[in-house]
Amino acid sequence: MPLQTQLPTWTAIAPTVLLGLTALVLLLVDSVDPDSTRPTALAAVSVGGSVATLAVAGWYLLAGTGQVGGAIRLYGGSLVIDGLSLFFTVIVASVVAMVSLASHDYLQDRTYQAEFYSLVLLAATGMSLMASAGSLATVFVSLELASLPSYALVAFLKKNRGSVEAGLKYFLVGAVSSGVLVFGISLVYAVTGSLLLSDVATAIGDAGDFVGVAGIGVVMIAGGFAFKTASVPFHFWAPEAYEGAPAPISAFLSSASKAAGFAVAFRVFAVAFPLDAVVPMGIDWPLLFAVLAVVTMTLGNFAAATQENVKRMLAYSSVGHAGYALIGLAALSGGGPNGDVMGASMAHLLVYGFMNTGAFLFIAMVERWGLGRTFEDYNGLATRAPVACLAMTVFMFSLAGLPPFGGFLSKYALFYGAIQGGFWWLAAVGAINSALSLFYYSRVVRAMWIEDPVDGDGVDLGATPLGLYVAVLIAAVGTLALLPAFGPVVETAQSAATALFA
């Protein structure tokens, strides 16, 4: 515990502050000479800032900040630093580091690069705040801080119809679901008289005649989070946005933004609506999430199976994975091994952060090479870019949950936790969906390695985009390394989640 004893408490927020500062430094670097862009300097600052955040958050996590001796509460409890917030900050920072590294090549010869990087970092700041939000007010503010830059980033390719349409759709659905969320918050506030999660928890048991109001509030809050995590029923922006957005942004949104959505959902539901108090009142939110989980994973998988466009397939697969992660909110019961289930879900989101980011960054690389978007366009790619295709193969099999990759172990832990909690049917649906998902993931692998290229082997892919390559390889190494190193990860996640229920 070096931190709590040797540094003032407010330093616990350092990872989030570092992300925000990096965004400002990026704007500063750009304003030194507004007429010229320095892509390398911008990418370096962005990568450096996110790696520094990763290092600090990782150090805090290992040192036990906010875990040993209870969570650190700042600003009257509006911000809470504990294992959960640090864990998700690690996920967000890792994704931002990989995405920034890849964007260096992706953005080549584009304008507004500084704005791009700083918007990414600002959104990441919001996501990190979401993970630490201790009151419903900070929940809403941080969610907006994460969302608003994301809208702009999706529409970043402003001369591309798909990108602009995706941005608009994302914005409209986002605005509606923000409204739903804030209305839900107001209903909960009306019943409990507080926005602080811990106070809501104590007051909601005495809701009395207002149980119905509280229940509607809870459902509406769940709806707001469903938007951020791309879950049914607020999922339909996701395929559009992920497909239309620049591929690094798709990676960022589908990995980091989804994880942050889960972070805030985990905390709000576990802390503010304790199972022992609300389930007897009839507000059975785990049941709600169980239904959402089943529908989300099934819908995501079946929609993904019918796609011809690889990026869109990955977008739907991302919806499917939101369904798996929702098990962490669904397979809960009073007295059950709730911390273990939620922790397994957190660990899955970390592994997902690597494998899914890697997959979208591979698509970014394919877009950079100027190849098409359908499965056929990937035919025979392995003969031209074997190393990158090997990495993509790792991502696909890991997403499908095959051993020997990280995704296998994290899905295993998740389904296993669900069974332990008595939700074997949830695990069964998950396992069946996971088996079906192999169909469309293996299509990519098949196209790359087994099919013959349509236009012969001779096409030159051009210069190797070094940053993209390195980012994809880092993601692949991470996906592989999370198999042997899964033990400490899942233990950290489970103890963080258990602390939430305590």
Partner 1 sequence: MIIEGLIAATFAASMVVLLAPDRVAGRLAAALSLLPVVGSLYMWSRFDATGNALTGGDPAFETIVPWLELGGYTLNWHVGVDGIGLPLVVLTTILSTLAIVSAWASIDDRQSQFYGLMLFMEANLLGVFTALDFFVWFVFWEAVLLPMYFLIGVWGGPRRKYAAIKFFVYTNIASLAMFIGFIALLFGLGDSVSSLDMPAIAGALRAGELGSLYGISAGTLRAVAFVAMFLGFAVKVPVVPFHTWLPDAHVEAPSPVSVMLAGVLLKMGTYALLRFNFTMLPETATRFAVPIALVAVVSVVYGALLALAQQDLKRIVAYSSVSSMGYVILGLIAYTTYGVGGATFQMIAHGLISGLMFMSVGVMYNTTHTRMVGDMSGMADRMPVTAGIFVAGAFGYMGLPLMAGFAGEFFIFKGAFESTVHAAMPLFTAAAMFGIVIVAGYLLLAMQRTLFGSFRLETDYEVGPAPLHETVPLAVLLVTIIVLGVAPDLFFGMIQDAVDPLLDFGGELS
Q: In angstroms, rounded to a whole number, what is the distance separating the alpha carbons of residues 259 and 25?
A: 25
Q: Which is nearer to partner 1, 151 or 415 (CB)?
A: 415
Residue among 1 and 450 whose Cβ is closer to partner 1: 450
**Beta carbon of residue 453, minimum distance to partner 1 (angstroms, whole number):** 13
Give contact residues for partner 1 (rule: CB under 8 A).
337, 340, 383, 386, 397, 402-404, 408, 412-413, 416-417, 419-420, 422, 424, 428, 431, 435, 438-439, 442, 446, 449-451, 483-484, 486-488, 490-491
183 or 412: CB nearest partner 1: 412
Distance, in Å, from the CA atom of 125 to the CA atom of 212, rounded to the nearest integer, reads: 35
In whole angstroms, the minimum distance from the beta carbon of 424 to partner 1 comes to 7
CB nearer to partner 1: give 113 or 434. Answer: 434
Please tell me what DSSP assigns to residue 79: E
Residue 295's Cβ-side half-sphere holds a number of Cα atoms within 13 Å equal to 13
Min CB(356)–partner 1 separation in Å? 20
The H or E element spanning position 421 is none
CA 387 to chain centre: 26
Q: How far is the CB of 422 from partner 1 (least distance, A)?
A: 8
Closest distance of CB 217 from partner 1, Å: 33
The dihedral through the CA atoms of 28, 33, 34, 37 has a sign that is negative
Strand partners, 374: 309
* Residue 487: burial class (beta carbons within 10 Å; 0-12, 13-18, 19+): exposed
d(CA 393, CA 380) in angstroms, rounded, equals: 13
Asked whether 211 and 277 are in contact (CB, 8 A), the reply is: no
Write down the least CB distance from residue 377 to partner 1, Å: 17
SS3 state at 233 = coil
Query: Which segments within 33-91 are labelled E, that is strand?
Result: 72-74, 79-81
Q: Report the residue number, 93 or 294, with the smaller CB distance to partner 1.
A: 294
- In the complex with partner 1, the residue whose CB is nearer, 324 or 449, is 449
Q: Under DSSP, is residue 405 helix (H, G, I), strand (E, B) or coil?
A: coil
For the bound state, the minimum distance from the C-beta of residue 419 to partner 1, rounded and expressed in Å, comes to: 7
- Cβ distance to partner 1 smaller for residue 183 or 416: 416
